[in-house]
Structure 1
């Protein structure tokens, strides 16, 4: 199997390391909320700060992949991620400092995730690229799943500071992998001249050309609403499990952090198999089916709070599966539909818009929790989940009217 050869296994392993700190805040959210006296909205804003850093850097990082070997950008991004996570572990002491550290961590992911995909695409034969992309995007779930498990394990052994200090080893490992095992391309000399201007950082004209492509613009908008729901759910899932246990008095079979990690692993085969199914039924039709089903699972999951643990577990798994079942499809669809000369800019816009949704999601969720009652009120959680899944339904309605679905 070609996926097991060449650079792909190394990049999959590197991505897992780069994402090891991704769920650290979700795991420590309730602890920090209590220690720092944060509201739900403030807690959501700290999670959103991660995506502010991502959005600030991703246009610059991805645009430069059209001018230089993405390997170089990846290594710099790893250094940002290490700095942000160590900052949380050693420096953060409240809302402002936590936001700053999370933004640096988000900048690190911006310079590793899509540049990592560009590392692969620059070194692959065009005919085999989509399956490699599906594995790469699916391994986002492996990395985030391990992040929940490891962060929860460290938290149970020590304090929240230790969580961030240990997960910083993840991007450190990624840096070493790319440095040692990914060969440079011909555009790899550090002394080569790089043109940097606002047109590279925010290539508006190229983005306009990308959006004129009806297929590409649909995949980008779909990825935006997908990410809004995905990252809001991941940011608040541990808190959901903790509150559900308190309301029902019934313990889950695993600790809340471990359970969230295990559930995230279901997204890996869901993303890979989803891409295969999309090739059979049509990418656009598959995306719409998945978004409708995910919305149903999300609201039903919220309604189940305080009920039997097995019911909550099954619904949470179902939501995790369908929230990820269109992830690889959306990214692969964008890569294959974008013009070859605009591919770097298209991937940058795709990532920018997607993580823009990720920025809004956690904050919207926390804001609705505060607005509709309290964190201990099941009705508030229903409204909060509804506030993040509704965008997928609106996307389906909009795209069907525009004729995107064939």
Structure 2
């Protein structure tokens, strides 16, 4: 069957994988957009909602060492197809069987496993099929498609949530993932990764990665980045609904989800620009500047929730763009620093630590809201976004220290 598939050009392969990433992420924002509705229906606390938002990334972290690590010896396409199967089960299962905290946790965990099987394995499909010059050009575009997938998930979830029962929204996400599975299976040909026979590292041995100080520095930066990014994305719809009410602005959930989608969409050009600047200038300095601006903006956002809604929207959009501006630059730094034969293991470590931050971010914000003034006060959201912006602050300090130590 695979012999009947023609080899795709670099551009065609990139386009197919970008479309696949968007479809595979159809369920990404389902819970974030439906958070208020499901919290009311199931009587969830903010902490429990944070757990459900964060468990998605726990599923990612639990699966990614195995799924991405194996791409050094197994065709990443096979891993990708497995990830899509997990996503289909997670979406359909949530729609048909989720009825409270624990069942929601189980199916969102499985959805996170799906992301582990598609996001970085998709990058490895590119790595295994492209020459180095094409690889460096394609990488920022593929990584930026993550923002398109996020935006599409926010937008279409919001659109569907206003006219359909929440269970149907999850069913539609599962259908999109099934279409993606068919596309990847029939369009991308099988190709096992090339491997040096003299290289005897076990594919799940990650110790050499931690001896690569430059890679570890950018992985640390990515961890803080992902903590901040997914804390923001998990709670931005709830915050904007609060801000609209606080300023007596009449908006629907569909409209707010549309704004969240637009903010995610801004991440694509922001990420591409950050990657471009990091190649033209010093990578460390570009990332550091973006992180400092992100800390400042995030620390302000929660405290302006009662100002005119347009001001809140503008600052929230700016913050989203700043958060994403170092994304491709950080991953590009990891790929560039990875040693030959260790790229899968390096990306697996990058993903494990990075998305551990993604798991903690939504949970920490939920804890801060419950322990503080609450999700119906300016003070509560001010503290929540300070906790969010702490991701960039911790990332900046650790990354610069590791790179300075490497130079020394």
Same fold (TM over 0.5): yes
- 1:130 corresponds to which residue? 136
Change (3 A) 1:115 1:403: closer
1:403 is displaced (CA, Å) by: 4.4
Alpha-carbon distance between aligned partners in 2 of 1:27 and 1:130, rounded to the nearest angstrom = 34
Alpha-carbon distance between aligned partners in 1 of 2:30 and 2:63, rounded to the nearest angstrom = 21
- Asked if the contact 1:284/1:404 (under 8 Å) is kept, the reply is no
Cα displacement string for residues 245-302 of structure 1 (whole angstroms, at most 9, x for unaligned residues): 1111113597111111111100010001110011122111111111111111112221
- 2:209 corresponds to which residue? 210
Report 1:1-400 matches (<5 A).
5-186=11-192, 200-201=203-204, 203=205, 207-251=206-250, 255-400=255-400
1:200 is displaced (CA, Å) by: 4.4
Change (3 A) 1:185 1:158: same
Flag as ranges the 4+ runs of structure 1 deviating above 3 A.
251-254, 398-406
Alpha-carbon distance between aligned partners in 1 of 2:142 and 2:312, rounded to the nearest angstrom = 29
Name structure 1 gaps, 5 residues minimum: 189-198
Change (3 A) 1:210 1:262: same
- 2:198 corresponds to which residue? none
Alpha-carbon distance between aligned partners in 2 of 1:20 and 1:186, rounded to the nearest angstrom = 28
Name structure 2 gaps, 5 residues minimum: 1-7, 195-201
Residue 73 of structure 2 aligns to a residue whose secondary structure is coil
Residue 168 of structure 1 aligns to a residue whose secondary structure is helix
Alpha-carbon distance between aligned partners in 1 of 2:36 and 2:141, rounded to the nearest angstrom = 32
Alpha-carbon distance between aligned partners in 1 of 2:174 and 2:404, rounded to the nearest angstrom = 42
Alpha-carbon distance between aligned partners in 2 of 1:4 and 1:339, rounded to the nearest angstrom = 23
Alpha-carbon distance between aligned partners in 2 of 1:166 and 1:266, rounded to the nearest angstrom = 25
- Asked if the contact 2:218/2:399 (under 8 Å) is kept, the reply is no
RMSD value, Cα: 1.9
Cα displacement string for residues 191-236 of structure 1 (whole angstroms, at most 9, x for unaligned residues): xxxxxxxx644x2xxx332122221011100010000000010000
- Matched residue pairs, number? 392
Alpha-carbon distance between aligned partners in 1 of 2:251 and 2:221, rounded to the nearest angstrom = 34
- Asked if the contact 2:225/2:395 (under 8 Å) is kept, the reply is no
Alpha-carbon distance between aligned partners in 2 of 1:399 and 1:87, rounded to the nearest angstrom = 40
Change (3 A) 1:127 1:268: same
Change (3 A) 1:329 1:366: same
- Asked if the contact 2:217/2:402 (under 8 Å) is kept, the reply is no
Cα displacement string for residues 113-172 of structure 1 (whole angstroms, at most 9, x for unaligned residues): 111110011111112212211011101000010001100111000221111111112221
Residue 112 of structure 1 aligns to a residue whose secondary structure is helix
Question: Which deviates the most, 252-261 or 110-119?
Answer: 252-261
- Asked if the contact 1:225/1:357 (under 8 Å) is kept, the reply is yes
Alpha-carbon distance between aligned partners in 1 of 2:326 and 2:399, rounded to the nearest angstrom = 15
